[in-house]
Amino acid sequence: MDTAQFEACWHTHIRRIVAYAERHVGRDVACDIGSSTFLTAWRTWDVVPPEPLPWLISVARGHVRNHQRSLRRRGSLEQRLALLDESAFAGPDASVTATERAEALAVLAAMPEHDREALLLVAWDGLTTEQAAQVLGCRPGTLRMRLHRARARIESTSTGPALPIARSAQ
């Protein structure tokens, strides 16, 4: 690696890479995208072409896409969490703290939809596994497997005692 060539590339193109990123992700993240782009260039300097700008923009484009995907996933998770929080009813059990509730809702929101739906049909809607399987159009054995995965996920991510949703779904 020729450090002088890399530094010259950096000084020549960093403003254009950051400007490109800023058009797509805003000022707050653009410098991070620029840094990530040049980190990629540093790590793979032997494949950077003699005219690096198009290659650098292509790499920056990939980092922009990753950032946008991350934002979409986070937004989707926050939306699911908000929907779950709105639909969760307060239980008469005083042992369910706000922290446990928030933890349970976050775990539920992060679950694959078919596992979460199976758990909620049984735990919140009070259906039997056979009834829930009928609602979801699957076999009772399939539903039991989904419940098992959902409960295992809750138990593996729980930091405290068993979460209320796991207790009520058994």
Question: How many C-beta atoms lie closer than 10 Å to residue 58's C-beta?
Answer: 10
49 in the Ramachandran plot: left (φ > 0), alpha (ψ -120 to 50) or beta? beta
Angle at 10 between CA 33 and CA 2, to 5 degrees: 125
The Cα–Cα gap between 137 and 101 comes to 29
The pLDDT value given to residue 57: 93
The pLDDT value given to residue 167: 45
The pLDDT value given to residue 62: 93
Q: Give me the residue spans of the domains in the chain.
A: 3-75, 88-168
Token pair belonging to 33: 């995208």
The pLDDT value given to residue 50: 92
Architecture category of domain 88-168 in CATH? Orthogonal Bundle (1.10)
pLDDT tens per residue across all 170 residues of the chain: 689 999 999 999 999 999 999 998 989 999 999 999 999 999 999 999 999 999 999 999 999 999 998 888 777 777 777 776 666 655 555 455 666 667 777 777 788 888 888 888 888 778 888 988 888 889 999 999 999 988 888 777 765 444 445 444 44
Domain 3-75 identical in fold to domain 88-168: no
Give the pLDDT confidence of 104-153 residue by residue, as tens digits. Answer: 777 777 888 888 888 888 887 788 889 888 888 899 999 999 999 888 88
Q: How far is CA 92 from the centre of its chain?
A: 32
| Average pLDDT along the chain | 82
The pLDDT value given to residue 49: 93
Q: Which fold has domain 3-75?
A: Rna Polymerase Sigma Factor; Chain: A (1.10.1740)
The pLDDT value given to residue 48: 93
